[in-house]
Structure 1
Amino acid sequence: MAWLVLLLAGLLEVGWAVGLKYTEGFSRLWPSVWVGISMILSVALLSVAMKTLPAGTAYAVWTGIGAAGTVILGAALLGEPLGIGRVVCLALILCGVIGLKLVS
Structure 2
Amino acid sequence: MPGTYPDDRRRTPRFLVDQPCTIFTGRHVWDGHLRDVSDGGAMLRGVPGLVADDQLLVRLMRRPEVAFRARVRGVSLLGAHIAIEEPSEAEAWRRAIAELAT
Comparing both chains, which one has the higher relative contact order based on Cα–Cα distances under 8 Å and sequence gaps of 6 or more?
Answer: 1
Is TM > 0.5 for Structure 1 vs Structure 2? no
TM-score for both structures, normalised by structure 2:
0.31
Q: Which one has a larger percent helix, Structure 1 or Structure 2? A: 1
TM-score for both structures, normalised by structure 1:
0.30
Q: Which has the larger radius of gyration?
A: 1
Q: Which one has a larger percent strand, Structure 1 or Structure 2? A: 2
